[in-house]
């Protein structure tokens, strides 16, 4: 298996997951099942009040229970350092486990019980008596509350943008759309709940974890416990889904706290129900979109105002108004965000943060404008294609939205669509089709990698990627094989270990692009250093890369992926049931590294769009302040029966400034999907649904109101 002169086109070739066999046979070991001698188990105790303070924790009876080793709470926990800025911004006070007696929301961690077995820990945790001094809480999210305010900043971008005069523009517009849209709290619900196993070994802290980036978690843990960063090792070899909330969370802090005190390996695994209060979620949003246009649909005004809830302890901005900054230009153009502080957990990034709820509002409004102008929804969007960044004036690195619509419309069969709503009946079903545009930022962040030529002719890639289900490990093998000019089988890949060095996290749709940049750079350098035909020494030959400088030198451009989404739905007006019959997404999202896993990634996003449009809703109970039915029985995510024939396609769209041509496909699959479905429901029924999810009761109520009118 020596390097071939002509090279190979491994990138772009479908390849099954390298760890697939291990996963399906159970050989892959996850953070919640790794075994260490002497392992003991911790269970978090969460507050039952939504606001107040802890008066007392009565640990004595629990300490007398079978197997219980210790209990930590605000009265006896070691001091932690929470005064630092991590990779994703200022530290969430949630990580300052048991540092004071305040309770800012229902489900706040108030204690940790550690016992010999998970069952003993859980029973003891359930028995722990915590006495609270409850205060009145406020969890009511509605638009128009006077306490809403404009935040100072957000890790995901600018809070407000503005050019031109919106009010004057609306007054001068022949056609105006003004509508309010809402989306509920939504939860990540990875298949694998968060789990971490901590131990001290040879003077180092080792954390076997399920996360999106070991450098992020290792850095946070070192800071929190004031440890030398070199003494902290975090591994996350297999991760059963993440979607934005597998950063540093209370379970890792709890595991390290207990392992340090007990000097025994400690595992803290969260229960499914605990995920509904301690690992973040997508906040509820209320969005107002105002569009002004000429009679032919050309936009004069785009005004998108988005409100979301945040907690009393941290600010989280769901940047829902952001898609309009990329998709459409207008003389008067304003996008702005507001927050409402409530006694709820701090929201966090969730697949396409901002773009997912924001595209529902914006792309629904565009459909309303198309209706009012009597212009086909695709034609309306193409008439509004900007030449350059609407706000920056910078060129796009590439913008193939038009191709996505042309190719998508052809495959979906859009031509000849009757634009009239509510006129297609098939038995008891009303049938309609809808479409939406989508965009998501494409970025790369500095990363390091090492590629080693081994004496046996194989190659070892070390890159601190995290494979959260995307197939990152396999993608890196393909990228390395192509750069080395060898068979993919000759490449082994080591990932997800903080000892491998710094790298981008699996987030922001930037992981694959960032890691591939580093891997291809190291592989190319190695190839230059190897003498063809000469034997490789026993210790191998290693080349290393650091992409910091190269990425810092990227020319300023508008860098985005684009997509078109199409959906066909059937609505039963007698029951209010909505069935998605088929969906088709067409993506211009850079060079596709592994078509097999890329298709899965895009389809997964589209499935989530169905889920978002029709099912998902975290119902917050005003009385308790918590989520009602916070589990997979009470919170419905799209299941097989909800998912019809779905297709994901892509158009050729290599990024001109990326060494591998990648843009990133982590998140764009969900963007626009809910809007395409909502627009199809309008086309089927003639009723606009501006509040997600489009539940049967909402369809029935709207149908009755429409019948009265």
Which range, of 116-124, 138-146, 222-230, 344-352, touches ligand MOS by CB under 6 A?
Answer: 344-352
Q: Which is nearer to ligand MOS, 357 or 625 (CB)?
A: 357
Nearest approach in angstroms of CB 667 to ligand MOS is 6
Which range, of 349-357, 403-411, 426-434, 472-480, touches ligand MOS by CB under 6 A?
Answer: 349-357
Does 351 bind ligand MOS (CB under 6 A)? Our answer is yes
Q: Which is nearer to ligand MOS, 351 or 615 (CB)?
A: 351
Nearest approach in angstroms of CB 314 to ligand MOS is 16
- C-alpha atoms less than 13 angstroms from C-alpha of 537 in its C-beta half-sphere: 5
Q: Which is nearer to ligand MOS, 177 or 673 (CB)?
A: 673
Which range, of 175-183, 317-325, 343-351, 483-491, touches ligand MOS by CB under 6 A?
Answer: 343-351
Q: Which is nearer to ligand MOS, 347 or 462 (CB)?
A: 347
Q: Which is nearer to ligand MOS, 188 or 557 (CB)?
A: 188
Looking at residues 371 to 430 of the shown chain, list those that interact with ligand MOS (rule: CB under 6 A): none
Select from 104, 358, 508, 618 the one that contacts ligand MOS (CB under 6 A): 508
Nearest approach in angstroms of CB 212 to ligand MOS is 6
Does 349 bind ligand MOS (CB under 6 A)? Our answer is yes
- 186 and 670 Cβ atoms separated by less than 8 Å: no
Q: Which is nearer to ligand MOS, 389 or 508 (CB)?
A: 508
Return the SS3 of 115.
Answer: strand
Does 441 bind ligand MOS (CB under 6 A)? Our answer is no
Beta strand residue intervals within 346-469, DSSP E: 425-426, 429-441, 448-453, 459-463
Return the SS3 of 231.
Answer: helix
Nearest approach in angstroms of CB 244 to ligand MOS is 3
- 677 and 692 Cβ atoms separated by less than 8 Å: no
Q: State the DSSP string of 349-360.
A: --SSTTHHHHHH
372-375 contact pairs (CB < 8 A, 24+): 372/175, 372/177, 373/175, 373/293, 373/295, 373/296, 373/297, 374/419, 375/296, 375/297
Q: Which is nearer to ligand MOS, 218 or 505 (CB)?
A: 505
- Pairing outcome for strands 285-293 and 299-310: antiparallel
Nearest approach in angstroms of CB 475 to ligand MOS is 16
Burial class (CB in 10 A: 0-12, 13-18, 19+), 208: buried
Nearest approach in angstroms of CB 188 to ligand MOS is 9
State how far the Cα of 648 lies from the Cα of 600, in Å rounded to an integer: 9
Nearest approach in angstroms of CB 511 to ligand MOS is 9
State how far the Cα of 210 lies from the Cα of 21, in Å rounded to an integer: 19
- Collect all residues with Cβ–Cβ distance below 8 Å to 553 and sequence separation of at least 6: none
Structure tokens of 293? 């246009």
Torsion of CA 366, 372, 376, 382, to 10 degrees: -50
Q: Which is nearer to ligand MOS, 250 or 353 (CB)?
A: 353
Which range, of 348-356, 437-445, 448-456, 588-596, touches ligand MOS by CB under 6 A?
Answer: 348-356
State how far the Cα of 360 lies from the Cα of 366, in Å rounded to an integer: 10
Structure tokens of 44? 């978090």
State how far the Cα of 471 lies from the Cα of 16, in Å rounded to an integer: 9
Q: State the DSSP string of 253-273.
A: HHHHHHHHHHSS-EEEE--TT
Task: Please give the residue whose beta carbon sits closest to ligand MOS in the complex.
Answer: 244
Nearest approach in angstroms of CB 398 to ligand MOS is 22
Nearest approach in angstroms of CB 439 to ligand MOS is 15
Q: Which is nearer to ligand MOS, 351 or 690 (CB)?
A: 351
Q: Which is nearer to ligand MOS, 282 or 527 (CB)?
A: 282
Does 350 bind ligand MOS (CB under 6 A)? Our answer is yes
Which range, of 178-186, 345-353, 569-577, 689-697, touches ligand MOS by CB under 6 A?
Answer: 345-353
Looking at residues 192 to 251 of the shown chain, list those that interact with ligand MOS (rule: CB under 6 A): 212, 243-244
Please state, in angstroms and as integers, the Cα–Cα distance from residue 539 to each residue in 448, 493, 542, following that order.
21, 18, 9
Nearest approach in angstroms of CB 241 to ligand MOS is 11
Q: Which is nearer to ligand MOS, 114 or 196 (CB)?
A: 196
Which residues are bridge partners to 702 per DSSP? none
Q: What is the DSSP letter of 691?
A: B
Nearest approach in angstroms of CB 348 to ligand MOS is 8
Q: Which is nearer to ligand MOS, 244 or 432 (CB)?
A: 244
Q: Which is nearer to ligand MOS, 526 or 665 (CB)?
A: 665
- Please list, residue by residue across 113-122, b when 16 or more beta carbons sit within 10 angstroms of its beta carbon and e when fewer do: bbbbebebbb
Nearest approach in angstroms of CB 444 to ligand MOS is 14
Nearest approach in angstroms of CB 69 to ligand MOS is 35
Q: State the DSSP string of 41-81.
A: EEEEEE-SSSSEEEEEEE-HHHHTSTTEEEEEETTTPPP--
Of 355, 363, 617, 667, which one is the catalytic site residue? Answer: 667
Backbone φ and ψ of 305, nearest 5°: -115, 125
Does 483 bind ligand MOS (CB under 6 A)? Our answer is no
Backbone φ and ψ of 136, nearest 5°: -60, 140
Q: Which positions from 18 to 47 touch ligand MOS by CB under 6 A, shown as an x/- string?
A: ------------------------------
Select from 347, 507, 585, 605 the one that contacts ligand MOS (CB under 6 A): 507
Does 353 bind ligand MOS (CB under 6 A)? Our answer is yes
What does the chain come to in residues? Answer: 709
Please work out the total of residues on this chain that contact ligand MOS, with binding judged by CB under 6 A: 9
Q: Is 667 a catalytic residue?
A: yes
- Please list, residue by residue across 470-482, b when 16 or more beta carbons sit within 10 angstroms of its beta carbon and e when fewer do: bbbbbbbbbbbbb
Which residues are bridge partners to 40 per DSSP? 266
Q: Is the dihedral of CA 70, 74, 80, 85 positive or negative?
A: positive
Q: Which positions from 272 to 311 touch ligand MOS by CB under 6 A, shown as an x/- string?
A: ----------------------------------------
Does 605 bind ligand MOS (CB under 6 A)? Our answer is no
Which residues are bridge partners to 449 per DSSP? 463, 545
- Pairing outcome for strands 459-463 and 491-494: parallel
SS3 assignment for 652-683: CCCCCCCCCCECCCCCHHHCCHHHHHHHHHHH
- Collect all residues with Cβ–Cβ distance below 8 Å to 330 and sequence separation of at least 6: 164, 169, 292, 299, 300, 301, 302, 390
Does 96 bind ligand MOS (CB under 6 A)? Our answer is no
Return the SS3 of 124.
Answer: helix
Residues near ligand MOS, by CB under 6 A: 212, 243-244, 349-351, 353, 507-508
Active-site positions read 667
């Amino acid at each position: 298996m020596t390097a071939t002169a002509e090279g190979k086109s491994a990138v772009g070739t479908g390849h099954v997951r390298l760890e697939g066999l291990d996963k399906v046979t159970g050989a892959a070991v996850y953070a919640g099942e790794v075994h260490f001698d002497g392992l003991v188990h911790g269970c978090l105790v969460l507050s039952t009040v939504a606001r107040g303070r802890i008066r007392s924790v009565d640990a004595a009876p629990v300490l007398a229970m079978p197997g219980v080793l210790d209990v930590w709470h605000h009265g006896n926990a070691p001091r932690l350092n929470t005064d630092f800025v991590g990779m994703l911004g200022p530290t969430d006070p949630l990580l300052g486990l048991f540092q004071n007696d305040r309770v800012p929301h229902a489900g706040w961690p108030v204690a940790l019980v550690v016992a010999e077995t998970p069952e003993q820990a859980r029973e003891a945790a359930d028995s722990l008596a915590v006495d609270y001094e409850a205060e009145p809480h406020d969890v009511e999210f509605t638009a128009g509350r006077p306490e809403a305010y404009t935040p100072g900043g957000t890790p995901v971008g600018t809070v407000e943008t503005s050019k031109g005069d919106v009010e004057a523009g609306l007054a001068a517009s022949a056609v105006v759309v003004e509508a309010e849209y809402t989306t509920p709290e939504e939860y990540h619900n990875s298949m694998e709940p968060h789990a971490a196993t901590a131990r001290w070994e040879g003077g180092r802290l080792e954390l076997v974890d399920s996360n999106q980036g070991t450098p992020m978690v290792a850095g946070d843990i070192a800071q929190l416990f004031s440890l030398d960063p070199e003494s902290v090792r975090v591994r996350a070899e297999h991760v059963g889904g993440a979607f934005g909330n597998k950063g540093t969370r209370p379970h890792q802090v709890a595991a390290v706290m207990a392992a340090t005190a007990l000097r025994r390996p400690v595992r803290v695994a969260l229960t499914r129900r605990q995920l509904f209060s301690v690992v973040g979620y997508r906040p509820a949003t209320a969005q107002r979109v105002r569009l002004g246009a000429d009679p032919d649909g050309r936009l004069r005004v785009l005004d998108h105002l988005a409100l979301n809830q945040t907690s009393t302890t941290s600010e989280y901005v769901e940047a829902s108004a952001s898609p309009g900054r990329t998709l459409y230009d207008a003389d008067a153009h304003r996008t702005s965000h507001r927050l409402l502080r409530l006694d709820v957990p701090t929201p966090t990034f969730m697949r396409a943060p901002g773009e997912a709820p924001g595209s529902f509002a914006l792309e629904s409004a565009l459909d309303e404008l198309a209706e009012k102008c009597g212009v086909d929804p695709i034609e309306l969007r193409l008439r509004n294609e900007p030449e350059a960044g609407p706000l920056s004036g910078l060129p796009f690195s590439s913008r193939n939205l038009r191709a996505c619509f042309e190719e998508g419309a052809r495959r979906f069969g859009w031509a000849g669509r009757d634009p009239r709503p509510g006129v297609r009946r098939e038995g008891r079903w009303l049938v309609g089709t809808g479409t939406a545009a989508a965009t998501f930022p494409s970025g790369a962040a500095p990363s390091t990698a090492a590629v080693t030529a081994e004496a046996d002719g194989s190659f070892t890639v070390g890159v601190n990627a995290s494979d959260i289900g995307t197939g990152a490990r396999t993608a890196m093998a393909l990228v390395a094989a192509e750069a080395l000019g060898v068979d993919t089988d000759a490449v082994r890949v080591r990932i997800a270990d903080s000892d491998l060095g710094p790298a981008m996290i699996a987030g922001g749709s930037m992981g694959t692009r960032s890691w591939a940049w580093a891997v291809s750079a190291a592989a190319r350098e190695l190839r230059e250093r190897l003498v063809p035909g000469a034997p490789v020494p026993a210790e191998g030959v290693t080349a290393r890369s650091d992409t910091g400088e190269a990425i810092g030198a990227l020319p300023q451009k508008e860098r985005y992926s684009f997509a078109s989404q199409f959906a066909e739905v059937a609505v039963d007006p007698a029951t209010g049931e909505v069935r998605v019959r088929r969906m088709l997404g067409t993506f211009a999202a850079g060079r596709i590294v592994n078509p097999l896993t890329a298709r899965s990634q895009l389809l997964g996003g589209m499935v989530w769009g169905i889920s978002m449009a029709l099912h998902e809703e975290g119902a917050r109970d005003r009385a308790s302040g918590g989520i009602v039915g916070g589990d997979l029985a009470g919170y419905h995510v799209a299941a097989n029966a909800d998912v019809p024939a779905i297709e994901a396609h892509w158009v050729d769209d290599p990024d001109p400034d990326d060494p591998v041509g990648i843009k990133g496909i982590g998140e764009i699959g969900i963007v626009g999907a809910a809007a395409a479905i909502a627009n199809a429901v309008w086309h089927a029924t003639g009723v606009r649904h501006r509040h997600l999810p489009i539940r049967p009761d909402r369809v029935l109520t709207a149908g009755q109101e429409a019948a009265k009118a």
